[in-house]
Structure formats: structure tokens, C-alpha cells
């Protein structure tokens, strides 16, 4: 008799089922790859889903130009290692207008460099479906998100159009101009992602591991200085602080945590005992009340 | 679905297994890396019954909520109860714009871990549109909790809820008699409610149920045993969730695997990929495809992690068969002989805001297949109060109907009562792509019901709404309209669908 399945085995199988449905039902599929931990777990699942073939879609990274350097390095290495095409899209119009996370509010910056940029990229290549690593447990407004989440022709999330999902049946049929977002990790929690990374021995961006990095303390939070663009205020002087990141975004708006966890096992132990929820280190989520919900309606992932 | 160990599910009063629950439990949470499976719990009831409070209590008591979430809740709601106790319901109701979002099918998902298991809470609202919401949530649930206010007892709504659960294949029900604190923890009143429920539940022999007296507000018998209701010896709600059987606990059923796609390695390997929905498979077993009727022997069971000797329900695998038989997406592998169906007797729950319309084109989607509906004939609507079928020829939003569906080509389908995963389907609007109804298969036949020549009727309305929305009512526009209509008919006929044009 085959051995009973653990909750992680069941989550893995569910994600593989969803990925295969996505590949079978859509004409031009893309994988939104951020190179973070969720993307890493999801890419591994995609390799399992289509093995012995390669995943039948390219990776797309929306580069805000304010990413951590280590993340970009890891992104390029991963694509090469698994033999996948990597498309990188930057909102050049936003760059020309110098929309940056230092001078602009998180909501304006995210809208231009992430939300609009993603819409541009999807239109440019004509993708009819995009796979992403969002989880329902990340944030309250995601608790109602579908696994197959339909978007109108202008990539907006219309609550009235959200479709019922019954049984194990995922309906990818599109109306005129519509596209789909597909979230195979919907039912995973942050802990599951780390358990899986540890179990499957996956490489992740070293930013998740504690290391002395040049950083400053500001308003009770720690920011790692990743390059020499203007961010420091008068009197602020970077000093080495041993930090790691629980979640990764643009470096001027992503706070690190002081930690001693410098490998997967110790990170997992730390996450299993964490006292605070995952997104509290992300400034964009706290900008205004219900910020995340609004961003979703506008087409943020 | 009837494999469940019914003996483990007797009314609380007679619970013989109460002892095993009484063992003192470890107070320190052991964060074991992997948990024993996942239990999906549907919560049914209205705000008045204390549903949000119960869910909040579960999250607060049984799960390691994060400090920032706890502090936020305490800060936000302390004033409401004079600082005594946070308002647990806020843990689930805290979403801004929740009321205004207007999602048609409105279900929220929450997650927590007990010591042994992952619990997924499927929360559907109890307002007047609840039939379709509940049916949708129930289709994904292993167990459902029916909340009853101990003061008011079993209501008409409770009965309707049980009927919907039965339709959606939920076989495990917990009757949570809530607000016991408000009736002086009365055992007599609890038994009265249980007796009342028993009479009604007898009409659903497939459903196994258990009654638990709780106080969601105080936490009695939710995650911790009640100190005041010592007359109750059954499990607490959380203890029950940790041991109750799940739907994929179906190893004793015959093997089923819907094929999602064919995978190749470019060097001669050809395998069929899918997830096993019932039973087990071993290397050397003979499998038969219900769609084509062809059979072969399993040569290898493969995954990226290596070759397996056997695989079980719930696993995603690739099967390499001995013979190169022509099977692919839409095929259903079994270890018994099954015939593909051309016509289905079904029960539907209407999910769309627009009622059934005979002029619309519909498609039927199973777990891994999509086929055009040639005719859909509504035979009657189910009255949830009397459980009787009233003659009707249409189905309104939120309604439940029995119908007969003829398909453009055969589809592999089981009876829902035999195999839930391969006996259920969605009805999809051919133009908008939206799922308009969910259904279960109650009967299959290999021939068509009406006549063999039944054809799919392509109407001008269908084309104008979708494919031809860009056309102007000029003579050029009309010509282009006819050209497109013809093209569609040609393509459909090439795909084996009988089509009649009605334009």
C-alpha cells in the first residue's frame, strides 16, 4: 500500500493539477516570476507538473529597477539553470518620468512601476493567461480570490465577474478580450512554502538568510542600502547589521528583520515560531486602509 | 462516497469513542513540519447564529495567530466589551468594502493548523443568495458545520441547509448548538434540539452527523472542553476536526484518473498525466479508458522524483502504458469497464444571475474535458422545504433543477453517488465563458435522449453577443456576420458537432 499523503503532498498535487489545467486550457501562457520564495516553490512545482517536458511557458519578470541586486542575479541564474525563456519588462515611461519609491508614495510608485508595467507586458506579448504565486493567506483581501481569476480586457478585477469554482473543476473559458490570472498556491500558507523549500532542498535568494548587510534604522525599521541612489536622509549612516528578509520587494520600501537564521532549516524554525504576520514588513500594504484591495481592483497582481 | 466509517459518526449522546478524546493533550504546540492531511470545513449559518464568532474563536484558540493580528483585534474591539474580551467575529468580518464588493459567489477561505491537521475554513455568507454560495462552498468541503442558536432551535433555514449539503455531496455534518451560555447550559434543551434534528436528518440517509453543544463566545467545546457542561462527553469541535474522514480518503473505491494531458520526453517516452481521484494503481494493472473503450497495462508510474510501484488517490502522476493507445485529454482511466455517456440525467444548482435560456449556447466542463451541449431540458425544480420536484421548464438564479442534457459527443462520466470527483460538472456559457451552473450526474446513457440527429443550434443572438459585437448593422456588416456564422458552423462540424444555423 502506498503511504498516506501529508498536507504538503496534497498541496503539491493540487498545485500540479492546476498548472496542468492552465497549460491544457490556454493558448498563450506566461509565468509571472519574481524570483522570491513563492515563485521559487511554484517554479519547482511547474517543473514537476510537466516533467519530463520543460514547463510550456516563458518566465516574465516586471522589473521596477529598484530590485535588490542579488534578486536579479538569482532570477537570471534560475532561468538559465532550468532552460526557460526569461522576459524582463520595465515601464520605460515610468523610468523617463523618474517615478521612484523614494520620492513618490507607495501607491503611486506601485501603480506605475508594477501594475501599469504588468499590463503593458501582458498586452505587448498577447498572453491570455498568467500564472502567479499569490496565496489567500497573505492578506485579508485575498481570502476571497479564485484560483482561476478572470480579468476584463483592460486587466481589471471586476467583482461581479468572478466565477464560481466548484468541485475540482477549473474553468478557463474566456469571454471577449478577457484574460486569466492563475494562482496554484492559493491554498498554501507562508509556513507551507518554507516547509516545501526545506523538504525539496530548493535554492532561494540569499536575501532570505541572515547576513551582515549595510543598513540603517528608520522609524523602528531596518533598511538595507542596496545601491547609492538617493535614499539616505541627513545624518543617516549605513552600518553593518545582521538582517534577513521575510518578504522581498523594492529595497527602499522593504524592511528587513534582525535575525541569526542563516540557512533554510533555521529560517523554517524561525517562521514556524514567528510572532508577526508576513506582510508587516512591506510598506506598500500599509499606505492607506484597504490598500491591497484597491490595488487588486486596479490590476496589481 | 459511502465508504465512510459511519460507526464513528453517531449522535453525541451515544458516542462510544468519547474516551479516546478525553486524553490530556499536550499544551505545548509541536510544530511538526508536515501535518496529517487537510480537512476542509464549510460553515453554514447566519450572523445571528454566531457563525463569525465561531470561526473567530477557532482562529483565536486553535491556531497560532500572529501577535500583530491579536493586538490589532484587541485594540480595535476592546471597547465593545468593556475590555473583557475581543470581538472574535472581527477576525473574519474585518474586510473593508466586504459588503459592497458584490461578488456573486462570495466565499472566503481561512487557514489554521491544529496539532495534527491543516484546517481550511470555507466561509459562505448566510444571506438570501445562500443556496448557490453554499452549494459552491459545499462542493469543496469534507465536513460542514450547521450552526443553530440554542434559544431558537432548528429553523427552516437549517433544514434547507442540510438539503443543499446533501446535494453537494457533503457526508459529514456537525450540528453545533451554539449560545448554550444563554440557556443556562441546559442538557434538556440540547437533547430537545438534537431530537428535532434527528427526525429531519433521517430523510438524508447518506449524511452522518454529530451534535456538539458549544458557546462560541466563551469557547466552550470549540477548542477547549467545557467546564460547565460536564454532561457532554463527546469530542470538542476541534478534536472532531482532527479525526473526521476526508473526501480523498477513498482508497477502497475503484481506481479513477481523468487525463489532463500527454507528456513526452522527445526520446520515445509518452505518458499520460493526471491526478488520481479515487482508489489506487500499481505497475502491471490493466487500465481502461472510459472515453475510447481501449485498455492497456500500466508499464510505469513516473514522477520527477522517481518511479513508483503504486500511487494512491490524491497523487499527481504520469502513467506510461504498455501499448500506444490513442488516449489524451478528456480520457478517464479506470480499472473497471465504464461506458462514455452521450446523455446525462443531472441535478443543477443555477449560479448565474441570469436564468436558464434555451437560446444560449452551453458547454459542459468536467474535471478534464469540455464538450458542447446539444440540448438542455429542464424537467423540474426542487423545493428545498418539501424536497419535492415541481414541474418547470426553466431555472432561476439560486434555483435547483433536474434536467436532461444531450451532448455533441460522448463524455467520460461517473454517477456522482459512485464517484464525486468524476460525477460532477460545470455548465459554461459558450459566449461569455462564465460558469452558469454546477451539477451532479444522477444517470448516464450512451445514446441521445431525444433523437440521434439532435444538433446544436447556432442562433444569431449568440453570435451578436460575442463574436460579432464589433459589427455595424450595415450591409457590409450583415455580410461579414453571415460569413462568420458559416465559419463557426464549419469549425464546429469539423470537430464532430452537429450544427444547425438559425440566423
Backbone angles phi, psi at B104, to 5 degrees: -60, -55
List, for residues A254-277, the tens digit of each pLDDT value.
999 999 999 999 999 988 887 666
Pair A183, A133: CB distance under 8 Å:
yes
Q: What value does the mean pLDDT take over residues B60-76?
A: 69
Q: What value does the mean pLDDT take over residues A143-149?
A: 91
Q: Can you give the pLDDT at residue A159?
A: 75
Give which of B304, B400, B469 to mutate to test A binding, by max A Cβ within 10 Å.
B304
How many helices (H) and strands (E) are present in chain B, helices listed first?
10, 24
Which of A147, A150, A159, A148 has the alpha carbon at shortest distance from A188?
Answer: A147
Which of B237, B113, B132 has the alpha carbon at shortest distance from B175?
Answer: B237
CA B393 from chain center: how many Å?
A: 26
Report d(CA A147, CA A32) in Å as an integer: 15
Residue B366 buriedness (CB in 10 A; 0-12 / 13-18 / 19+): buried
Total residues found in chain B within this entry: 503
Which of A255, A196, A205, A268 has the alpha carbon at shortest distance from A225?
Answer: A255
Pair B50, B149: CB distance under 8 Å:
yes
Inter-chain CB proximity A5 and B314 less than 8 Å: yes
In chain A, what is the straight-line distance between the N-terminal and C-terminal CA atoms, in Å?
Answer: 42
List, for residues A209-252, the tens digit of each pLDDT value.
999 999 999 999 999 999 999 899 999 999 999 999 999 999 99
- Kindly give, in sequence order, each residue whose CB lies less than 8 Å from that of residue B352, ignoring residues fewer than 6 positions away: B104, B397, B429, B434, B435, B436, B437
Examine residue A244 and say whether the peptide bond preceding it is cis (omega within 30 degrees of 0): no
Count of Cβ atoms closer than 10 Å to residue A269 Cβ? 15
Count of Cβ atoms closer than 10 Å to residue B50 Cβ? 25
Count of Cβ atoms closer than 10 Å to residue B142 Cβ? 22
Map A136-175 to HEC letters. Answer: CCCCHHHCCCCCEEEECCCCCCCHHHCCCCCCCCCCCCCC
Report d(CA A130, CA A122) in Å as an integer: 8
B248 contact residues in A (CB cutoff 8 A): 5, 10
The 8-class DSSP code of residue A113 comes to I
B304 contact residues in A (CB cutoff 8 A): 47-48, 51-52
Least CB-CB distance to B261: which of A5, A13, A20?
A20
Backbone angles phi, psi at A263, to 5 degrees: -145, 175
A168 contact residues in B (CB cutoff 8 A): 275, 277, 367, 421
Choice among A15-29, A71-85, B78-92, B290-304 with the minimum mean pLDDT: B78-92
Pair B322, B299: CB distance under 8 Å:
yes
Q: State the average pLDDT for chain B.
A: 84
Task: Please tell me whether residue B463 adopts helix, strand or coil conformation.
Answer: helix
Residue A287 has pLDDT above 70, yes or no: no
A21 contact residues in B (CB cutoff 8 A): 260, 368
Count of Cβ atoms closer than 10 Å to residue B378 Cβ? 19
Report d(CA B9, CA B92) in Å as an integer: 29
Q: Can you give the pLDDT at residue B104?
A: 57
Choice among A74-88, A213-227, B171-185, B386-400 with the minimum mean pLDDT: B386-400
CA B280 from chain center: how many Å?
A: 22
Inter-chain CB proximity B67 and A51 less than 8 Å: no
Percent of chain B topping pLDDT 90 = 54
- Kindly give, in sequence order, each residue whose CB lies less than 8 Å from that of residue B283, ignoring residues fewer than 6 positions away: B298, B299, B300, B301, B308, B309, B310
Residue B248 has pLDDT above 50, yes or no: yes
Q: Can you give the pLDDT at residue B491?
A: 79
Q: Beta strands of chain A (E only): which ranges?
A: 29-32, 59-62, 86-89, 129-131, 148-151, 179-182, 211-218, 221-224, 239-244, 257-258
Pair B185, B214: CB distance under 8 Å:
no
Find the farthest-apart pair of alpha carbons in chain B and give their distance in angstroms, rounded.
83
Q: A100: alpha, beta or left, given left = phi > 0 and alpha = psi -120 to 50?
A: beta
Which of B147, B53, B104, B15 has the alpha carbon at shortest distance from B350?
Answer: B104
Q: Which strand (E) or helix (H) includes residue B343?
A: strand B341-350
Inter-chain CB proximity B304 and A2 less than 8 Å: no
Give which of B258, B262, B316 to mutate to test A binding, by max A Cβ within 10 Å.
B316
Q: Which whole-number Å values give the CA distances from A186 to A16, A37, A274, B257, B360, in the listed order? A: 12, 15, 21, 23, 33
Angle between helices B156-167 and B187-201 (to 10 degrees): 50
Which residue in chain B has the smallest CA separation from A170? B367
Is ipTM beyond 0.85? yes
B97 contact residues in A (CB cutoff 8 A): 290, 293
Report d(CA A182, CA A31) in Å as an integer: 9
A23 contact residues in B (CB cutoff 8 A): 261
Residue A265 buriedness (CB in 10 A; 0-12 / 13-18 / 19+): exposed
Task: Please tell me whether residue B210 adopts helix, strand or coil conformation.
Answer: strand
Inter-chain CB proximity B103 and A136 less than 8 Å: no
Residue B471 buriedness (CB in 10 A; 0-12 / 13-18 / 19+): middle
Q: Can you give the pLDDT at residue A294?
A: 57
What sign results for the dihedral spanned by CA atoms B143, B148, B153, B154? negative
How many helices (H) and strands (E) are present in chain A, helices listed first?
9, 10
Pair B109, A136: CB distance under 8 Å:
yes
Least CB-CB distance to A277: which of B69, B424, B432?
B69
Q: Can you give the pLDDT at residue A282?
A: 58
Q: What value does the mean pLDDT take over residues A276-283?
A: 62
List, for residues B326-380, the tens digit of each pLDDT value.
899 999 999 998 889 999 999 999 999 899 988 788 999 999 999 999 999 999 9
* Nearest CA-CA distance, residue B337 and chain A, Å: 23
A160 contact residues in B (CB cutoff 8 A): 102-104
List, for residues B458-495, the tens digit of each pLDDT value.
888 888 878 888 888 777 787 788 788 878 877 777 67
Q: Which strand (E) or helix (H) includes residue A50?
A: helix A37-50
* Nearest CA-CA distance, residue B113 and chain A, Å: 10
Report d(CA A38, CA A193) in Å as an integer: 7
- Kindly give, in sequence order, each residue whose CB lies less than 8 Å from that of residue B450, ignoring residues fewer than 6 positions away: B375, B406
Choice among A128-142, A189-203, B21-35 with the minimum mean pLDDT: B21-35
Pick the residue with more confidence: B25 or A131? Answer: A131
A52 contact residues in B (CB cutoff 8 A): 263-265, 269, 271, 302, 304, 318
Work out the pLDDT band at B498, boundaries 50, 70, 90.
confident
Residue A69 has pLDDT above 90, yes or no: yes
Inter-chain CB proximity A167 and B135 less than 8 Å: no
Percent of chain B topping pLDDT 70 = 82
Return the number of CB contacts < 8 Å for A and B: 207
Q: Which residue stretches of B78-226 are H helix?
A: 90-93, 130-139, 156-167, 187-201
Report d(CA B172, CA B192) in Å as an integer: 21
Count of Cβ atoms closer than 10 Å to residue B322 Cβ? 12
List, for residues B394-427, the tens digit of each pLDDT value.
999 889 999 999 999 999 999 999 999 999 999 9
Choice among A170-184, B13-27, B122-136 with the minimum mean pLDDT: B13-27
Q: Can you give the pLDDT at residue B114?
A: 86
Report d(CA B498, CA A300) in Å as an integer: 43
Cβ-defined contacts of B489-496 (< 8 Å, 24+): B489/B458, B492/B372, B492/B456, B492/B458, B496/B408, B496/B409
Give which of A15, A23, A163, A195 to mutate to test B binding, by max B Cβ within 10 Å.
A163
Residue B96 has pLDDT above 50, yes or no: no
Q: Can you give the pLDDT at residue B65?
A: 64
Strands A148-151 and A179-182 turn out to be: antiparallel
Backbone angles phi, psi at B132, to 5 degrees: -70, -35
B431 contact residues in A (CB cutoff 8 A): 175
Which residue in chain B has the smallest CA separation from A23? B261
Task: Please tell me whether residue A240 adopts helix, strand or coil conformation.
Answer: strand
Inter-chain CB proximity B312 and A5 less than 8 Å: yes
Residue A1 has pLDDT above 90, yes or no: no
Amino acid at each position: 500500500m502506498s503511504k498516506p499523503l501529508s498536507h504538503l503532498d496534497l498541496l503539491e498535487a493540487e498545485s500540479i493539477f492546476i498548472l496542468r489545467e492552465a497549460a491544457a486550457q490556454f493558448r498563450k501562457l506566461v509565468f509571472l516570476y519574481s524570483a522570491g520564495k513563492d515563485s521559487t516553490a511554484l517554479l519547482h512545482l511547474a517543473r514537476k507538473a510537466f516533467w519530463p517536458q520543460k514547463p510550456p511557458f516563458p518566465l516574465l519578470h516586471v522589473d521596477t529597477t529598484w530590485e535588490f541586486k542579488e534578486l536579479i542575479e538569482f532570477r537570471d541564474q534560475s532561468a538559465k539553470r532550468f532552460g526557460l525563456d526569461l522576459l524582463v519588462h520595465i515601464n520605460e515611461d515610468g523610468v523617463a518620468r523618474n517615478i521612484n519609491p523614494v520620492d513618490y508614495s507607495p501607491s503611486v510608485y506601485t501603480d506605475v512601476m508594477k501594475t501599469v508595467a504588468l499590463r503593458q507586458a501582458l498586452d505587448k506579448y498577447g498572453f491570455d493567461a498568467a500564472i502567479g504565486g499569490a496565496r489567500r493567506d497573505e492578506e485579508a483581501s485575498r481570502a476571497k480570490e479564485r484560483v482561476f481569476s478572470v480579468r476584463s480586457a483592460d486587466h481589471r478585477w471586476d467583482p461581479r465577474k468572478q466565477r464560481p469554482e466548484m468541485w475540482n473543476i477549473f474553468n478557463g473559458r474566456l469571454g471577449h478580450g478577457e484574460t486569466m490570472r492563475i494562482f496554484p498556491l492559493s491554498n498554501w500558507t507562508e509556513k507551507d512554502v518554507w516547509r516545501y523549500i526545506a523538504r525539496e532542498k530548493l535554492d532561494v535568494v540569499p536575501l532570505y538568510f541572515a547576513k551582515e548587510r549595510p543598513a540603517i534604522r528608520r522609524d523602528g525599521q531596518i533598511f538595507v542600502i542596496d545601491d547609492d541612489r538617493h535614499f539616505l536622509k541627513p545624518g543617516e549612516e549605513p552600518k553593518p547589521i545582521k538582517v534577513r528578509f521575510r518578504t522581498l520587494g523594492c529595497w527602499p520600501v522593504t524592511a528587513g528583520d534582525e535575525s541569526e537564521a542563516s540557512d533554510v532549516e533555521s529560517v523554517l524554525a524561525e517562521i514556524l515560531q514567528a510572532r508577526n504576520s508576513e506582510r508587516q514588513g512591506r510598506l506598500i500594504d500599509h499606505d492607506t486602509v484597504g490598500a491591497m484591495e484597491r490595488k487588486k481592483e486596479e490590476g496589481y497582481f | 462516497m459511502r465508504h465512510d466509517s459511519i460507526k464513528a459518526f453517531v449522535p453525541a449522546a451515544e458516542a462510544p469513542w468519547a474516551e479516546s478524546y478525553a486524553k490530556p493533550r499536550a499544551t505545548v504546540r509541536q510544530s511538526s513540519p508536515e501535518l496529517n492531511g487537510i480537512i476542509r470545513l464549510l460553515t453554514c449559518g447566519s450572523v445571528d447564529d454566531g457563525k463569525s464568532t465561531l470561526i473567530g474563536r477557532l482562529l483565536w484558540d486553535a491556531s497560532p495567530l500572529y501577535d500583530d493580528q491579536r493586538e490589532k483585534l484587541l485594540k480595535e474591539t476592546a471597547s465593545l466589551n468593556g475590555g473583557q474580551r475581543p470581538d472574535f467575529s472581527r477576525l473574519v468580518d474585518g474586510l473593508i468594502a466586504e459588503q459592497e464588493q458584490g461578488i456573486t459567489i462570495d466565499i472566503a477561505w481561512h487557514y489554521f493548523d491544529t496539532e495534527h491537521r491543516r484546517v481550511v475554513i470555507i466561509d459562505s455568507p448566510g444571506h438570501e443568495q445562500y443556496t448557490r454560495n453554499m452549494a459552491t462552498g459545499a462542493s469543496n468541503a469534507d465536513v460542514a458545520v450547521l450552526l443553530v442558536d440554542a434559544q431558537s432551535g432548528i429553523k427552516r433555514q437549517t433544514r434547507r441547509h442540510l438539503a443543499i449539503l446533501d446535494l453537494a455531496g457533503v457526508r459529514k455534518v456537525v450540528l453545533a448548538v451554539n449560545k448554550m451560555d444563554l440557556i443556562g447550559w441546559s442538557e434538556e434543551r440540547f437533547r430537545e434540539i438534537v431530537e428535532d434534528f434527528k427526525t429531519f436528518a433521517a430523510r438524508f440517509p447518506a449524511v452522518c452527523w454529530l451534535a456538539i453543544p458549544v458557546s462560541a463566545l466563551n469557547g466552550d467545546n470549540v477548542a477547549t472542553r467545557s467546564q460547565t457542561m460536564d454532561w457532554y462527553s463527546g469530542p470538542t469541535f476541534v478534536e472532531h476536526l482532527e479525526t473526521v474522514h476526508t473526501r480523498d480518503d477513498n482508497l477502497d473505491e475503484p481506481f479513477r484518473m481523468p487525463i489532463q494531458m500527454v507528456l513526452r520526453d522527445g526520446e520515445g517516452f509518452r505518458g499520460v498525466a493526471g491526478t488520481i481521484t479515487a482508489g489506487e494503481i500499481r505497475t502491471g494493472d490493466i487500465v481502461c479508458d472510459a472515453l475510447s473503450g481501449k485498455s492497456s497495462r500500466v508499464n510505469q508510474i513516473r514522477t520527477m522524483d522517481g518511479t513508483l510501484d503504486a500511487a494512491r488517490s490524491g497523487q499527481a502522476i504520469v502513467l506510461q502504458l504498455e501499448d500506444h493507445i490513442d488516449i489524451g485529454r478528456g480520457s478517464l482511466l479506470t480499472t473497471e469497464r465504464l461506458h462514455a455517456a452521450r446523455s446525462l440525467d443531472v441535478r443543477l444548482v443555477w449560479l448565474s444571475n441570469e436564468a436558464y435560456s434555451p437560446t444560449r449556447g452551453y458547454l459542459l466542463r468536467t474535471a478534464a474535458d469540455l464538450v458542447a451541449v446539444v440540448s438542455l431540458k429542464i424537467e423540474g425544480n426542487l423545493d428545498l422545504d418539501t424536497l419535492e420536484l415541481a414541474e418547470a421548464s426553466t431555472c432561476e438564479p439560486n434555483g435547483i433543477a433536474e434536467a436532461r442534457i444531450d451532448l455533441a459527443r460522448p463524455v467520460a462520466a461517473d454517477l456522482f453517488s459512485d464517484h464525486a470527483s468524476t460525477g460532477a460538472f460545470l455548465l459554461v456559457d459558450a459566449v461569455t465563458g462564465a460558469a452558469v451552473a454546477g451539477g451532479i450526474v444522477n444517470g448516464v446513457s450512451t445514446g441521445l435522449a431525444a433523437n440521434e440527429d439532435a444538433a446544436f443550434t447556432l442562433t444569431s443572438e449568440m453570435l451578436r453577443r460575442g463574436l460579432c459585437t464589433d459589427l455595424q448593422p450595415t450591409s457590409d456588416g450583415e455580410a461579414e456576420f453571415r460569413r462568420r456564422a458559416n465559419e463557426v458552423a464549419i469549425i464546429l462540424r469539423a470537430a464532430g458537432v452537429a450544427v444547425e444555423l438559425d440566423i
